[in-house]
Structure 1
C-alpha cells in the first residue's frame, strides 16, 4: 500500500474490506467515529441478499477489520452517528432479494467503546430506503421510505419518526407533505432538515415508480414540514451536499421512467442545482458536471469544495465510473480530477479526520456487462485520496 499523502490528488489502494458488498439505499453508509475509525454495517451480496457483517477502517494503518455482526442482517437501512459517539442503524429489510420489499421496524445501536450492538426499540412503521438525520438536540429524524402495501405491491411513506438516545424509543413526528423514498436529506445550519427529490411508487405493480422534484423542510422546533422550492427536474439516485454558506448542492440522479418530454432517457443527469435558504428556498441551475451520474457519492472537502465520484447510468446500470470531479462554490465551476483506480457505484465514501477521502466496496459491473451475465459484480477494494 502506498502513502497517498505523498502524491496529492491521486488515489492509492488501501486495505480490502473483509467481504465484497453493495451499499445501495443506505443513508450515510459509512460513518466516521470519534476516534477517527470508519464503520460500515450491513449491505448486500451479489445476489442482493441482506448481510449482517460490519467492518472498521483504521486510518493509521489503512486497513479494515471485522467488527461484531448486527443482530439482524439488513440492507437499504440507515446508519447515523449519534451526538454521544454511538451509531444508530435503522430499518432496511432482511433476507434474500424480494418484491415487494419486506421492511424491518427494528433498530440497533453500536457502542465503539465495547464494540457491541444493542437493541434500540421498534419504529412505529417498518421502512427501508428512508432518510435519517441527526438534529441539533441529539435526536434522529427518520423520514419516508418504502413499505409493503400488499402481496404484490409497495407504497411510499409520508410518515416520519424521532429517536431520542436519552429516552430510548421512538416517537411519531409530523408527516411529510409528500410521500417519498430513496431521497437524500441534509441537516441545515439553522437546525432544519431539507429533503428534495427521491422516488415514489405510482402503480399497484411493484415495478411502477417515478422520480420526484419536490422539496420540503422539517423544523424540529414546531415538528412540521413546509414545502420549499422544487428541483428543476425530477431526480432519484442523486446527492445533496451542504456548502459552507448554508446553501445546498444537488448533483446527478435520473428520472426512472422517462424524461420531461415523455421519451425514455437511459442516461443520468449531468446537471447540478443549488438551493438557497435565504432566497425563499429557490433552486438555481449551476454549471453541468463533466458527465452525468447516479448512485455516486459527493463529499464536502476541508477546502469547502465538493468532490463527486463514481456512479453510473441510471437505467442501464452497466458499469461503475472511475471518474471524479471537483466543484468550487465560489466560481461555481467544475474541474475534472484524477479518477479512482476501480470504477464503482453503490459504494461508501467518507472524509477522514485528516482530510483524506476514503471509498470502499460497491458494484463494478451489473447485468450483461458482467463476465457471466450475473446480476452484479462487486468489489472489496478501498482507496484513499488527498485533495
Structure 2
C-alpha cells in the first residue's frame, strides 16, 4: 500500500482540480464516488485526515446493501481513490478520528439485511500511513447501529445508545448503554448507561470535557420511533451521566453543532410544525435552540429560512455554521439542494448558495483550508422516484467555498 503524502504541504487558495476559483459561498463539483451511497448514522460518513484529505468507509449502497469499500479524497486533485477495504461491510456505524490520526469504525449493520438485522459488535482501526484496517483486540459488549461516538480529552472514545437487537426477525430497540474504547489497549469497557434510551442522537464534546447527548429517536415498538427532548451530560472523570435542560421541541433527525463560545446549536429534526406566517411548511423543524453548559438551559437560537431534517451542519473556521441539504419530516421523498449560514453573534440566518444536487442522509466534512465537502446521499425516494421503493442515491461530491 502506497504511503500517503501530506496534501496540505504548500496548499494554497486555489480551487481543486484546476477549476476556476468560485466566489465565496458557492459550491463547485468535485470527483464522484465509485457508486452512489448514503449514510444513516449521526457519527457515520467522511472524516478529515491529518494530511488534509478525507476518508469515508462503508455506507449503504443501492438497496441499502452495506459496503466494505473505503475511499480517500484528495482536496488538491478533487478526486476519490480507493484504499484498504474494511474487514466487514457495514453501514449505520460510527467513524471517529483518534488522537494519533488513526480512525476507529465501530458497530453498524452488516450483510444480511434487516430480517433479521445483522447488527455488529466488531470494530476496526485504519492507519492512514499504510492504508490497512486492523480489528480491535476486543469487541463491543452490545451489537448496535445508529449510535453516537465522540473522542474524549483523554484519548478514549465514548459510544452511546443506538439500535440493538430485540429478538430474531424483530425490529430493533433503542439502547441506553454506553461503552468506552481505549486505543492504548484496543479493548472496550462498559461506561455508565444513559438515563434515557436513544438512537440517531448527536453527541457533542463540551469545552469543559463533558459530553452532551441531545434528543434523538426512541423506539416505541414495531419499528416505529419518536423524537425526544430529553438531554443529559456525561462526565468522563466520574463516569456519571446527569440530566440537564430539555429541548423545547422533541427532535430526531437533527444536528448539534458546538460553537466557539462553548454553547451548542441544535438545528432541524422531524418534529411537526406549521409556520402560519408563511403558510404550510413540510413537517420538519425550522426553529433552532442554543444550549449553555454554564446554566444547563436551552434558549431560542433563531429560525432557519426553512425546516429540514436528515441534513448536515458544520461549524466553519469563520465561526459561522453552514447547514446543507436535508428533507421534510413528513414524507422524506425529496432532498433539498439549499444551504444556509448562521451567525452565532446575531442569531440570524441567511440563505447561501445552493448545491447542484439535492441530497439528504449525506455526509459533510470540514477540510483544512476551510471549505466543506458534501458527499453522496439520497436524492429522492418513495413516490418521488419512477419506481417506488427504489430510492435514488447520488455519487456526486461538491465543495463549499469560503
- CA displacement at 1:69 relative to structure 2: 1.1
- For 2:165, the equivalent position in structure 1 comes to 148
Q: Please list, as runs of the form range in 1=range in 2, the aligned pairs for 1:242-261 lying within 5 A after superposition.
A: 242-255=258-271
- CA displacement at 1:64 relative to structure 2: 0.5
- For 2:238, the equivalent position in structure 1 comes to 222
- The one of 98, 122, 132 equivalent to 1:116 is 132
- For 1:57, the equivalent position in structure 2 comes to 73
2:250 is the alignment partner of 1:234: yes
- CA displacement at 1:373 relative to structure 2: 2.4
| 1:256-275 per-position Cα deviation (integer Å, ceiling 9, x unaligned) | xx679xxxx96111110000
- CA displacement at 1:100 relative to structure 2: 5.4
Aligned residues: 378
- CA displacement at 1:208 relative to structure 2: 2.4
Q: TM-score, normalised by structure 1?
A: 0.95
Maintained 8 Å contact 2:287/2:302: yes
> How far apart are the structure 2 equivalents of 1:28 and 1:299?
14
> How far apart are the structure 2 equivalents of 1:71 and 1:148?
22
Structure 2 unaligned residues grouped into runs of 5+:
1-16, 275-280
> How far apart are the structure 2 equivalents of 1:10 and 1:362?
19
Q: Are residues 68 and 338 of structure 1, via their aligned partners in 2, closer, same or farther at CA, if it must alter by over 3 Å?
A: same
Q: Are residues 306 and 148 of structure 1, via their aligned partners in 2, closer, same or farther at CA, if it must alter by over 3 Å?
A: same
2:160 is the alignment partner of 1:137: no
> How far apart are the structure 2 equivalents of 1:381 and 1:274?
32
- For 2:372, the equivalent position in structure 1 comes to 357
Q: Secondary structure at the match of 2:383?
A: helix
- For 2:209, the equivalent position in structure 1 comes to 191
- For 1:270, the equivalent position in structure 2 comes to 286
Maintained 8 Å contact 2:201/2:216: yes
2:332 is the alignment partner of 1:317: yes
> How far apart are the structure 2 equivalents of 1:315 and 1:91?
29
Q: Are residues 4 and 159 of structure 1, via their aligned partners in 2, closer, same or farther at CA, if it must alter by over 3 Å?
A: farther
Q: Secondary structure at the match of 1:368?
A: helix
- For 1:296, the equivalent position in structure 2 comes to 311
Q: Are residues 378 and 2 of structure 1, via their aligned partners in 2, closer, same or farther at CA, if it must alter by over 3 Å?
A: farther
Q: Secondary structure at the match of 1:236?
A: coil
Q: Please list, as runs of the form range in 1=range in 2, the aligned pairs for 1:151-162 lying within 5 A after superposition.
A: 151=168, 152-162=170-180
Maintained 8 Å contact 2:273/2:284: no
Task: Supply the RMSD in Å over aligned alpha carbons.
Answer: 1.6
Structure 1 unaligned residues grouped into runs of 5+:
none
2:300 is the alignment partner of 1:285: yes
> How far apart are the structure 2 equivalents of 1:62 and 1:160?
38
Q: Secondary structure at the match of 1:384?
A: strand
- For 1:167, the equivalent position in structure 2 comes to 185
- CA displacement at 1:99 relative to structure 2: 4.7
Larger deviation, residues 146-155 vs 308-317 = 146-155
Moved over 4 A (4+): none
| 1:190-230 per-position Cα deviation (integer Å, ceiling 9, x unaligned) | 11110111011112x2x222111000010001000010110
